[in-house]
């Protein structure tokens, strides 16, 4: 008996790293942790772009920035990564689920890709793979809503 165990309401068309920048200090300090909140600022945000010709398709872009808090620019440790997910939602699903898949389904997929990419990058640059801490999806989505509302108000004022 064959069971369909794959989720088919959202399709991954493509996932890739769009931009990547990593710089490390040239000094004797080999003992640092990129995920130490006291030594590094960590910022993550995302943007969602819906295909105007085919509303079931969309791009989700995640931007991750990790910067050393107290360092001079020329000698600082910095990691910047932009990942993109291109997704398509099954047009036959319930309209109530549609919005959830746009914002949470594809965001979960893109964050998983970001986590994998981050682990692989740090494995190559720091001689050990680091795992990003768990991300508060609700807070990330709330930040997105606030930013898009501000941008919408700016556009309406013009």
Would 4 be classed as within a structural domain?
no
Number of domains in the chain: 1
Residue 71, pLDDT above cutoff 60: yes
Would 3 be classed as within a structural domain?
no
Q: Which residues contact 58 (CB under 8 A, 6 or more apart)?
A: 48, 49, 50, 51, 86, 87, 88, 89, 102, 106
What CATH number has the domain bearing residue 140?
3.10.420.10
Let me know: does 39 contact 32? Beta carbons within 8 Å: yes
Would 75 be classed as within a structural domain?
yes
Across the chain, the runs of DSSP E, i.e. the strands, are: 10-23, 40-50, 57-68, 78-89
pLDDT tens-place string over residues 105-114? 899 999 999 9
Would 109 be classed as within a structural domain?
yes
Boundaries of domain holding 135: 10-148
Would 79 be classed as within a structural domain?
yes
Would 1 be classed as within a structural domain?
no
Let me know: does 106 contact 86? Beta carbons within 8 Å: no
Q: How many CB atoms lie within 10 A of CB 8?
A: 8
pLDDT band with cut points at 50, 70 and 90 for residue 153: confident
Question: What's the token pair of residue 150?
Answer: 């501000």
Would 5 be classed as within a structural domain?
no
Would 113 be classed as within a structural domain?
yes
């Amino acid at each position: 008996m064959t069971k369909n165990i794959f989720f088919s309401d959202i399709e991954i068309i493509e996932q890739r790293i769009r931009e990547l920048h990593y710089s490390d200090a040239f000094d004797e300090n080999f003992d640092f942790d990129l995920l130490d909140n006291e030594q590094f600022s960590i910022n993550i945000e995302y943007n969602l772009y819906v295909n105007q010709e085919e509303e079931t398709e969309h791009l989700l872009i995640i931007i991750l920035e990790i910067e050393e808090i107290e360092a001079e620019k020329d000698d600082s440790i910095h990691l910047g990564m932009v990942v993109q997910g291109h997704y398509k939602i099954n047009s036959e699903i319930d309209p109530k689920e549609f919005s959830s898949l746009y914002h949470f389904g594809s965001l979960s997929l893109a964050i998983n890709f970001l986590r994998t990419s981050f682990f692989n990058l740090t494995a190559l640059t720091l001689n050990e793979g680091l795992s990003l801490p768990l991300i508060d999806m609700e807070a990330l989505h709330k930040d997105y809503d606030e930013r898009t509302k501000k941008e919408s108000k700016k556009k309406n004022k013009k």
